[in-house]
A and B are shown apart, each in its own frame.
Chain A
Amino acid sequence: MKTKTLYSLAILFTIHCSLFTPSAVAQGVREFIQHTPSYASCNYHVYPDTITAVLTPAPAGKKPFYISHYGRHGSRYINSRSGYDIPYKMMEQADSLDELTPAGVQIFDFMSNIMRDTEGRWGELSGNGKQQLQNIGRRMVQNFPEVLCPGAKVTAVSTIVPRCIESMGAFTMEMLQVCPQLQITMEASKRNQWYLNYQDRKLRKNYMTPEAQKAYDAYTASRLGNSRLMELIFKNPDIVKEIVDEEYFNYYLMKMGLFQLNINYNRDTHIMNLFSIDDLYRMWQVDNALWYIQHGACKLNGGRQPYSQRYLLKKLITDADSCIQLEKPGAQLRFGHETVLFPLVCLMGINGYDLETDNLEELEEKGWWCSSVFPMGSNLQAIFYRRDKNDDDVLVKFLLNEVEATLPVPTDCAPYYHWKDVRQYCLNKLERYKSK
């Protein structure tokens, strides 16, 4: 077991490194953030668009014939005003009481600019986001020309959220630039929401058990405040305490700064510069722990949260089952959200993200780093290989954000897995939900 964990850890490190800093040696999250600050913002992390990972050649005698994909939309504007409003209103009130330092006044100005730029565009896909999806689509066609050849069928579906529809459009449009003869259909329909965007409210409701809350509070206690920031912005931090919650203020202001990296015409880094690497790193730790409790196989709440995506996993299996029967199944593309992709990755145990623990301090050392899974534009691609239609031994390989990934399934041909084994493993896993 120990060897296995170490093995996956080693793989994880390789993956993290190949994703972000190809030349760097194995490094920790803090160093990561130093190179790529947006890594600190977890689900607001920007897709690492310079993919340099080398793909293993196809297994001897086999070739790719089917691609099954689930992808998150690209970089977007923040979903609603409320996230920005929290620090903004605190600043507004402090300003009206003449409690802002000259640096504070300047920051307030930057915040106003950001608010103005974003007004009316809440949740919209940004130009940056569209570019990410175009690049992923282009690479998919370039990497797997055997599947995506002239005449090949591509079925794309998206949730009914506009940024997902646009992501689907950007992706497929670029695919046609590489191979104009692809036969693409698109659909954005409520009728697919049950698996594309299933939010299991009943399950989600219970994620923060008293045990989880206790562990989370203990873990975050030393990581949330930022007295240096308070002193920099407010004349009398003690007085503004009535209106400014230090922890909230620190958290949301940092998010506001980090979010700007998703919007290509307004990469305003003034706010981000207020924060030290350690501030960002602590923020990441706090968020990573919360994402683990919310979506990971966290022992503190029974470890059932990843099962929110049981319908999607089942659908991926049945879709693959029927596509394997076809001569030329082409590709199935699905566009949705990180709150779907992430639990799916945890459920499938990709790259060790099925980690089960009750100790939040363990997450970081064991490589459970959420930002590596679900940046804007993140995606999971299953590439299926076979000799011909009569080949009984279909192989599959998974790409998480376009880098080869591992599954907790024995194999004699990594990074390829025998589809039969993967399928059975997934079905067993789904079966276990009933007993949970």
Chain B
Amino acid sequence: MNQLKRSMKAIAKHIIFTTILTLCTPASAGAQSVVKELKEDVNRAAGMFYARPIIEHHKITPTPKGKKPFYINNYCCPASYYLDKVEYYKDTYDVFAKADTLGKLTKLGKDVFHRIGLLCREVNNRGGEVTPKGAMQSRGLMKQLMLRVPELFTKDTYYSVHSVVENHCIMTMQEGLLQLSSMQQPIIARSKASNTGIRYMAPSDGELANQATDSLTMARYRRFEALNTNNGRLMRSLFNDMNYVATYIDEALLARQLFILAGNYQHTELAGQVSLWDIFTPEEIHQHWRKQNAWHYIKYGGCTLNGGYQAYNRRAVLRNMMHMGDSMINRKDPLMHLRYTNENVVMSLACLMELDGMGIHTANLDSLEEYGWANYRIAPLGGAISMVHYRSGPNDPDVLVKVLFNGHEAKLPVETDCFPYYHWRDVKRYYLRKLYRYENKRLNNKVNSR
């Protein structure tokens, strides 16, 4: 028991420390900046359904003197895909179709009905599939990576490519491979979509996941949701009979579905021609985004409402990353591990790795923007965490690593004298200790509950 208390204390200390650390870090972020970023590109409001753009002008720090990259471990989200929950398209369309036949739509309502119709026509029988834009995105991101770390893309490089068995992940992988193949001949590549890698590609911890939405957390979230919900104006703009709305329409559900669809056009062939964002005010968009963002934080981040450990759900990924980093140290030829997995795995991994301060722990859902915790920055579609390893040669005792987090050089929770590079031994030590502490805590809980 005492031991448990001690370890709990240590963990609490660690959480507080991390929180303070994050608070002190110049959180580039702040509410202002989310508002600003949404204004710059409203598609960001789609959160994890934001299509990561291919930015050409990322700052690139030169390779550390005397070293060169020899290994990259890359975890990728699927590229843009149509929502797998086709009811979002269909149910929304049906609500409008019914209201239309009854003459309950305003002029704007009729126009929205038409726009949703266009979307439904494109999505018909394609739910969950990578869109043509997504296919190009996957190729573009692969090309970008190849241009950024050219030393790694040689004819001697071994490409080990693995996807989880989920069609949009497999297609993202295959599109990426096409790009690779068109730029590298001959190529030594081995790819597979198999359940065999699930333990390090998309592991899950049922016990932990069950705690994510306990009743207390849900009560807090519902309250947060209520405070950020205001659908009256939207409904009045779409329907001409508020009695009809009150009787037949689930306002909150419809508003949420419309918001999700608005975020979806960017992936489709309608992008740039048709949009739904105009039916919302910037404040409404911000509110909807806040709700989704808070929900993602509760499910995948360090939210202390449900214990603060949800990111550990995918800890086996980080463990494997450390293990692989060590295994590659003496390898002669460069190697790439390209893993295509689900976006929520990448999100948890980013939080667990505390990339750019995303590991924050708080119970205050209102404070996420202040901390810069924004879902579209963490795991948008096409998002990726790439750990690049550098050395002077196979016997170099001081391997350096750098993490490319959605393309930019990320800050890790480890001290360094050569940012954006970190000493592998420090990184490994930090993350392994973090994982061991958690596993030890779980073990102690088990022992004590016997």
Instruction: Tell me the total A-B contact number using a CB cutoff of 8 A.
Output: 86
Contact A121-B195, Cβ < 8 Å, known A127-B190, A166-B170, A185-B135: yes
**B195 to chain A: closest residue by CB:** A120
Q: Which of chain A's residues have a CB closer than 8 A to the CB of B178?
A: 169, 172-173, 176, 184, 186
Contact bitstring B109-129, A, C-beta under 8 A = 1, else 0? 000000000000000111101
Contact bitstring A120-144, B, C-beta under 8 A = 1, else 0? 1100110100100000000000000
Q: Give how many B residues have a beta carbon under 8 Å from the other chain's beta carbons.
A: 30
Docked pose: A124 CA to B192 CA in angstroms: 9
CB-based contact B177/A189 at 8 Å: no
Contact bitstring B50-77, A, C-beta under 8 A = 1, else 0? 0000000000000000000000000000
How near does chain B come to A21, taking the closest CB pair, in angstroms? 31
Q: Which of chain A's residues have a CB closer than 8 A to the CB of B187?
A: 177
Q: Does B38 contact A (CB under 8 A)?
A: no
Docked pose: A172 CA to B183 CA in angstroms: 14
CB-based contact B167/A188 at 8 Å: yes
Contact bitstring A189-214, B, C-beta under 8 A = 1, else 0? 11101000000000000000000000
**B168 to chain A: closest residue by CB:** A188
**A126 to chain B: closest residue by CB:** B192
Contact bitstring B403-445, A, C-beta under 8 A = 1, else 0? 0000000000000000000000000000000000000000000
**A173 to chain B: closest residue by CB:** B181
Contact A162-B165, Cβ < 8 Å, known A186-B171, A188-B171: yes
Contact bitstring A153-190, B, C-beta under 8 A = 1, else 0? 00000001010011011101110110011101111111
How near does chain A come to B82, taking the closest CB pair, in angstroms? 10
Q: Does B348 contact A (CB under 8 A)?
A: no
Contact bitstring B7-24, A, C-beta under 8 A = 1, else 0? 000000000000000000
Docked pose: A174 CA to B124 CA in angstroms: 31
Docked pose: A120 CA to B174 CA in angstroms: 22
CB-based contact B185/A186 at 8 Å: no
CB-based contact A189/B129 at 8 Å: yes
Docked pose: A166 CA to B127 CA in angstroms: 19
CB-based contact B186/A177 at 8 Å: yes
Q: Which of chain B's residues have a CB closer than 8 A to the CB of A130?
A: 191-192
Q: Which of chain A's residues have a CB closer than 8 A to the CB of B186?
A: 177
Q: Which of chain A's residues have a CB closer than 8 A to the CB of B190?
A: 127
Q: Does B387 contact A (CB under 8 A)?
A: no
Q: Which of chain B's residues have a CB closer than 8 A to the CB of A176?
A: 178, 181-182, 185
CB-based contact B195/A169 at 8 Å: no
Choice from B124, B135, B189, B196 contacting A186 with Cβ under 8 Å = B135
CB-based contact B175/A121 at 8 Å: no
CB-based contact B170/A162 at 8 Å: yes
CB-based contact A166/B171 at 8 Å: no
Q: Which of chain A's residues have a CB closer than 8 A to the CB of B189?
A: 173
CB-based contact B174/A169 at 8 Å: yes
Docked pose: A177 CA to B185 CA in angstroms: 6
B175, B178, B191, B193 interface centre (most CB from chain A within 10 Å): B178
**B132 to chain A: closest residue by CB:** A185
Q: Which of chain B's residues have a CB closer than 8 A to the CB of A125?
A: 192-193
Q: Does B364 contact A (CB under 8 A)?
A: no
Q: Which of chain B's residues have a CB closer than 8 A to the CB of A185?
A: 132, 135
CB-based contact A180/B171 at 8 Å: no
B135, B170, B177, B195 interface centre (most CB from chain A within 10 Å): B170
Choice from A169, A182, A187 contacting B177 with Cβ under 8 Å = A169
CB-based contact A121/B183 at 8 Å: no
How near does chain A come to B158, taking the closest CB pair, in angstroms? 15
A-B contacts, 7 listed (Cβ < 8 Å): A169-B170, A169-B173, A169-B174, A185-B132, A188-B170, A188-B171, A190-B126
Known contacts A127-B190, A127-B192, A170-B191; 17 additional CB pairs below 8 A are A121-B194, A121-B195, A124-B165, A124-B193, A125-B192, A125-B193, A160-B167, A166-B174, A168-B174, A176-B178, A182-B182, A184-B178, A185-B132, A186-B174, A186-B178, A188-B171, A190-B126
Report the 3 A-B pairs with minimum CB-CB distance, sorted nearest first. A169-B174, A191-B125, A176-B181
